[in-house]
């Protein structure tokens, strides 16, 4: 990129700046993973069914043994989308996913992308 972007000074903007510093290709389509957290975990069967009806490709991620040993027993739902990485897409998708599951205590404020950087 020839010029620096001016993303907002929030965690999403910070992540995009970090990717930019690592020569991330913002023009390519990437696999973006969103994590949907819940106020209570584990989810019951009805909640899991509801999630899979709305996001058939979602997966449920339970805490690992190390997290449990450290007192973190919360899992999350992982959902991946193929898209270009833009601030607008990231923030809108987090809001959409949070809204989908707010009635069962769901919220989305984290994401990640796997891509070679620094080429």
Chain segment 11-30, per-residue pLDDT in tens: 999 999 999 999 999 999 99
Chain segment 82-115, per-residue pLDDT in tens: 999 999 999 999 999 999 999 999 999 999 997 6
Q: Looking at the domain assignment, is residue 57 inside a domain?
A: yes
d(CA 100, CA 34): 13
**Tokens 């997290």 belong to residue:** 67
Q: Looking at the domain assignment, is residue 118 inside a domain?
A: no
- The CATH number linked to 21 is 3.30.70.970
Number of domains in the chain: 1
Does 49 score more than 50 pLDDT?
A: yes
Cα three-residue angle 11-15-20, rounded to 5 degrees: 145
Q: Looking at the domain assignment, is residue 4 inside a domain?
A: no
Q: Looking at the domain assignment, is residue 1 inside a domain?
A: no
The answer to whether the Cα torsion of 96, 42, 111, 18 is positive or negative is positive
Which pLDDT band, with edges at 50, 70 and 90, does 61 fall under? very high
Task: State the residue range of the domain holding 90.
Answer: 11-113
pTM above 0.85, yes or no: yes
Tokens representing 41 are 């975990």
Q: Looking at the domain assignment, is residue 39 inside a domain?
A: yes
């Amino acid at each position: 990129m020839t010029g620096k972007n001016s993303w907002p000074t929030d965690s999403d903007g910070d992540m995009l700046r970090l990717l930019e510093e690592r020569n991330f290709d913002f023009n390519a389509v990437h696999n973006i993973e969103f994590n949907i957290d819940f106020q209570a975990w584990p989810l019951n069967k009805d909640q899991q069914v509801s999630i899979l009806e709305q996001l058939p490709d979602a997966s449920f991620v339970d805490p690992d043994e190390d997290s449990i040993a450290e007192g973190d027993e919360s899992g999350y739902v992982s959902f991946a989308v193929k898209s270009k990485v833009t601030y607008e897409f990231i923030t809108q998708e987090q809001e959409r996913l949070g809204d989908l599951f707010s009635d069962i205590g769901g919220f989305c404020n984290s994401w990640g992308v796997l891509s070679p950087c620094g080429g």
